[in-house]
Amino acid sequence: MKRTLCTAALAGVLGFSAPLTFAGETSWLDWVISFDRKKEVEPVTDATWLEECGACHVAYPPGLLPARSWEKLLAPSALEDHFGENAELDNETLNAIKAYALAHAADNSIYKRSRKVMASIRPDETPLRITETRYIRRKHSEIPEKYIKRNDKVGSLSNCDACHSEIQNGTFDDDTVIIPGVGRDWED
């Protein structure tokens, strides 16, 4: 009897902790007590995000930048000059997209790589590029330029899906990397 009560209480706590984690900043405690310690990055599932933010480049998972970065990238009229491109959206679409980004941003995520991205950004920094964050920079620091910039099929490190074959599942694990024209054995 005491056992079942205990389990019920525990289940209650855990059950409630999940929605809470997305409501605001995830506490370290939430992360520790959650059973489901996700290893990678939360995959993108939102149809609007996939359509509107996946046309010119892969639809980046919001869990790769903090909420304050998305706020800035998606501020009204910021998309009119988006890395030199016009990616303007109507207000309704923009609001939907922004809400999705903020709810799934790295600082609101329990996924492991999102935590690592966060840990590599100082509180006074608001990176506008995923490729500028220390974590992502570090992970790619040993790849020779000729495999990226001078590789016709890649062109830029921002083109994640050129090399990460399972990015649509949120998976970046080095086992899933195939550099075009180089393959898996890029280190040799």
Partner 1 sequence: MVRQTIILPVLLATAFNVTAAPKPEAVTTLQAQWAQSATQQPFSAKRGAELWRKDGIVQKGNVVRCTTCHGEDLSQQGKHARSGKVIEPMAFSANPDRFTQIKKIKKWLKRNCKWTWGRECTAQEKGDLIEYLVSQ
- The residues that touch ligand HEC, with contacts defined as CB under 6 A, are 52-53, 55-57, 60, 64, 73, 79, 82-83, 85, 87, 97, 113, 129-131, 136, 139-140, 142-143, 147-148, 154, 156-160, 162-164, 172-174, 177, 179, 186
CA–CA gap between residue 32 and residue 28 (Å, rounded): 6
Positive/negative CA dihedral, 57, 59, 65, 67: positive
Contact between 57 and partner 1 (CB under 8 A)? yes
**Binding residue for partner 1 (CB under 8 A) from 84, 123, 124, 174?**
84
The listed partner (partner 1, ligand HEC, none) that binds 14, CB under 5 to 8 Å by sort, is: none
Rounded Cα distance, 58 and 68, in Å: 21
Which of partner 1, ligand HEC, none binds 67 (CB below 5-8 Å, type-dependent)?
Answer: none
- Return phi, psi of residue 36, to 5°: -90, 75
Alpha-carbon Rg for the chain in angstroms: 19
- Cα dihedral sign, 44-48-49-54: positive
Smallest gap from Cβ 55 to partner 1, in A, equals 8
Tokens 């933010």 sit on residue: 53
Q: Does 86 bind partner 1 (CB under 8 A)?
A: yes
Greatest extent of the chain over all pairs of C-alpha atoms, in Å = 67
The 134-153 contact track toward partner 1, x by CB under 8 A, reads -------------------x
Residues that bind partner 1 (CB under 8 A): 56-58, 83-88, 153-156, 158-159, 161-162
